[in-house]
Structure 1
Amino acid sequence: MSLTTRILLAMGLGLLVGIVFKSVIAGGGEFGQWLQLYMVEGVFDVVGQIFVKSLKLLVVPLVLVSLICGSGALGEQGRVGPMAGKTVGLYLLTTCIAISFALLAATMINPGAGMDLPTASDYVAKEAPPFKQVLIDIFPSNPVASMSAGNMLQIIVFALLFGISMSRAGEAGKRLLSWFEDVNEVIMKMVMMLMNLAPYGVFCLLAKLFSGLGFDGIHKLAAYFFTVFGVLVLHGIVVYPTLLRIFGGLNPLIFLSKLRPLMMFAFSTSSSNASIPVTLRTAEERLGVDNRIASFTVPLGATINMDGTAVMQGVATVFIAQAYGLDIGLTGYLMVILTATMASIGTAGVPGVGLITLALVLEQAGLPVEGIALIIGVDRLLDMARTVVNVTGDSAVTAIVAKSEGALDKECFDSPAKPMADH
Structure 2
Amino acid sequence: MLTQSKKLGLTSKILIGMAFGFLIGFALRTAFPESQWVTDYLTNGLFHVIGAIFVSALKMLVVPLVLVSLVCGTCSLSDPSSLGRLGGKTIAFYLTTTAIAISLAIFAAVMIHPGNASLASENMEFAAKTAPSLSQVLIDMVPTNPIKAMTEGKMLQIIIFAVVFGFAISHLGERGKRVAALFEDLNEVIMKVVTLVMQLAPYGVFALIAKLALTVDASAFKSVLMYFLVVLGALIVHGLVVYPTLLKLLSGLNPIIFLKKLRDVQLFAFSTASSNATLPVTVETAEHRMGVSNKIASFTLPLGATINMDGTAIMQGVATVFIAQVFGIDLTLTDYLTVILTATLASIGTAGVPGVGLIMLAMVLNQVGLPVEGIALIIGVDRLLDMVRTAVNVTGDSVVTLIVAKSEGEFDSETFHNPEAGKLKGNLTDQVQS
TM-score range, shorter-chain basis? over 0.9
Q: Which residue of 1 aligns with 2:32?
A: 25
Structure 1 residue runs of 5 or longer lacking an equivalent are none
**1:267 aligned onto 2:290:** no
**1:92 aligned onto 2:95:** yes
Matches of 1:77 and 1:179 in 2, distance apart? 22
- State the superposition RMSD in angstroms: 1.5
**1:420 aligned onto 2:427:** no
The alignment's TM-score, normalised by the length of structure 1, stands at 0.96
Among 46, 49, 53, the residue aligned to 1:50? 53
- Say which SS state the counterpart of residue 115 (structure 2) adopts: coil
Matches of 1:395 and 1:135 in 2, distance apart? 25
Matches of 2:396 and 2:218 in 1, distance apart? 27
Q: Which residue of 2 aligns with 1:212?
A: 215
Matches of 1:214 and 1:420 in 2, distance apart? 36
Read off the aligned partner of 1:18 and give its amino acid letter: G
Matches of 1:241 and 1:21 in 2, distance apart? 39
Q: Deviations over 1:92-111 (max 9, x none)?
A: 00000000000000011100
Among 1, 4, 13, the residue aligned to 1:6? 13
TM-aligned CA distance change 1:415 to 1:77, over 3 Å:
farther
8 A Cα contact 2:25 2:210, kept in partner: yes
8 A Cα contact 1:121 1:370, kept in partner: yes
How many Å apart are 1:76 and its aligned residue? 4.7
8 A Cα contact 2:274 2:354, kept in partner: no
- Say which SS state the counterpart of residue 275 (structure 1) adopts: helix
Matches of 1:412 and 1:362 in 2, distance apart? 45
**1:240 aligned onto 2:243:** yes
Matches of 1:193 and 1:409 in 2, distance apart? 25
Q: Deviations over 1:235-271 (max 9, x none)?
A: 0011111111111111111111110111111101110
**1:334 aligned onto 2:337:** yes
Read off the aligned partner of 2:20 and give its amino acid letter: L
Among 68, 83, 86, the residue aligned to 1:80? 83
Matches of 1:389 and 1:383 in 2, distance apart? 10
TM-aligned CA distance change 1:300 to 1:393, over 3 Å:
same
8 A Cα contact 1:125 1:359, kept in partner: yes
How many Å apart are 1:345 and its aligned residue? 1.1
1:113-128 to 2 correspondences below 5 Å: 113-128=116-131
8 A Cα contact 2:276 2:353, kept in partner: no
Q: Deviations over 1:130-177 (max 9, x none)?
A: 222211110011110110110000000010011111011001110111
Matches of 2:18 and 2:298 in 1, distance apart? 29
**1:407 aligned onto 2:402:** no
Identity of aligned residues (%): 59
How many Å apart are 1:342 and its aligned residue? 0.8
Read off the aligned partner of 2:181 and give its amino acid letter: S
Q: Deviations over 1:291-333 (max 9, x none)?
A: 1100011111010110000000010011000000110121111
Matches of 1:120 and 1:416 in 2, distance apart? 55
Q: Which residue of 1 aligns with 2:23?
A: 16
Q: Which residue of 1 aligns with 2:136?
A: 133
8 A Cα contact 1:19 1:214, kept in partner: no
1:1-400 to 2 correspondences below 5 Å: 1-26=8-33, 28=34, 32-76=35-79, 78-213=81-216, 215-348=218-351, 353-400=356-403
How many Å apart are 1:350 and its aligned residue? 9.1
Structure 2 residue runs of 5 or longer lacking an equivalent are 1-7, 428-434
How many Å apart are 1:115 and its aligned residue? 3.5
TM-aligned CA distance change 1:334 to 1:44, over 3 Å:
same
Matches of 2:425 and 2:273 in 1, distance apart? 22
Read off the aligned partner of 2:160 and give its amino acid letter: V
8 A Cα contact 2:89 2:404, kept in partner: yes
